[in-house]
Amino acid sequence: MAVPPDAAAVRIGLVGDRDDAVAAHRAIPLALELAGAQAAVPVAAGWIGTELVGRGAALAGLHGIWLVPASPYRSFDGALTAVKLARTGPVPFLGTCGGFQHALVEFARSVLGRPDAEHSESRPDAEDRIIVPLACALPGVAGGVRFRAGSRLRGIYGSDHAEETYQCSYGLDPAARKDCEAAGLPIVAEDESGSPRAFELRGHPFFFGTLFQPERAALAGRAHPLVRAFVEAAASARDRER
């Protein structure tokens, strides 16, 4: 479904392969609606299948890109193209669960000089896998996350910690963390064991990835602060366009 043409609204592309059996896919439109209402920002969101991204024409004119959960995607390359266009655009970007993972693959290929970086889910036999199986899978698991002092994410939450829900089995290879941080993509949230749970890109208007799924708050009728911040960043992009 294309993003509705509404001149007053912020246009957000939900890049991923829509499946209403996936809880996160049901939650994301609700999350944007709640965040938009809280921020007094009209939101027009539409689904863009990864196989439709191509070289990026399908993403033209968007004020925000959300790379949604539920991988492997139909087009691995389409997902990475969406990340790259948001990163270099710059276009406000939020990647949750699979979106977090694939944004790290794109960053490794484009910024870290690892052109063969892969995701273990898609290429389990690849030599350079930046996304690897978690020591403990997190299907439907809730857990605490701690935010790095001074990070933008800490400011968005207005707290040092939060309780979030996961639906994932893969995460960042711990050996790659130092290189990501040195290149401007710091890990800004960890679980209680110190494992990476979120990143933010320095110098970008809004570029965040979370291994957890903040959108799930909408299923309980709650607006999530990170989704609201994403909508507000998209509104700023809309206003600059005018």
- Quick check: 1 pLDDT over 90? no
Q: Are 63 and 11 contacting, i.e. CB atoms less than 8 angstroms apart?
A: yes
- Does residue 4 form part of some domain? no
- Does residue 78 form part of some domain? yes
Identify the CATH number of the domain in which residue 110 sits.
3.40.50.880
Long-range CB pairs of 223-226 (<8 Å, 24+ gap) are: 223/31, 223/34, 223/35, 223/37, 223/38, 224/31, 224/34, 224/35, 225/156, 225/157, 225/158, 226/94, 226/153, 226/156, 226/157
- Does residue 235 form part of some domain? yes
- Does residue 2 form part of some domain? no
Give the chain's mean pLDDT. 95
> What's the confidence (pLDDT) of residue 5?
67
Full residue range of the structural domain in which residue 115 is found: 10-241
Taking the CA atoms of residue 81, residue 201, residue 208 and residue 197 in that order, the dihedral angle to the nearest 10 degrees is: 110
- Does residue 207 form part of some domain? yes
pTM: 0.96
Cα–Cα distance measured from residue 24 to residue 236, given in angstroms and rounded to the nearest whole number = 26
- Does residue 51 form part of some domain? yes
Q: How confident is the model at residue 185 (pLDDT cuts 50, 70, 90)?
A: very high
213-232 pLDDT per residue, tens: 999 999 999 999 999 999 99
- Quick check: 81 pLDDT over 80? yes
Cα–Cα distance measured from residue 144 to residue 152, given in angstroms and rounded to the nearest whole number = 18
- Does residue 3 form part of some domain? no
> What's the confidence (pLDDT) of residue 4?
67
Q: Are 18 and 48 contacting, i.e. CB atoms less than 8 angstroms apart?
A: no
How many separate domains does the chain show? 1
Q: How confident is the model at residue 242 (pLDDT cuts 50, 70, 90)?
A: confident
> What's the confidence (pLDDT) of residue 2?
66
Cα–Cα distance measured from residue 232 to residue 10, given in angstroms and rounded to the nearest whole number = 9
- Does residue 16 form part of some domain? yes
- Percentage of the chain exceeding pLDDT 70: 97
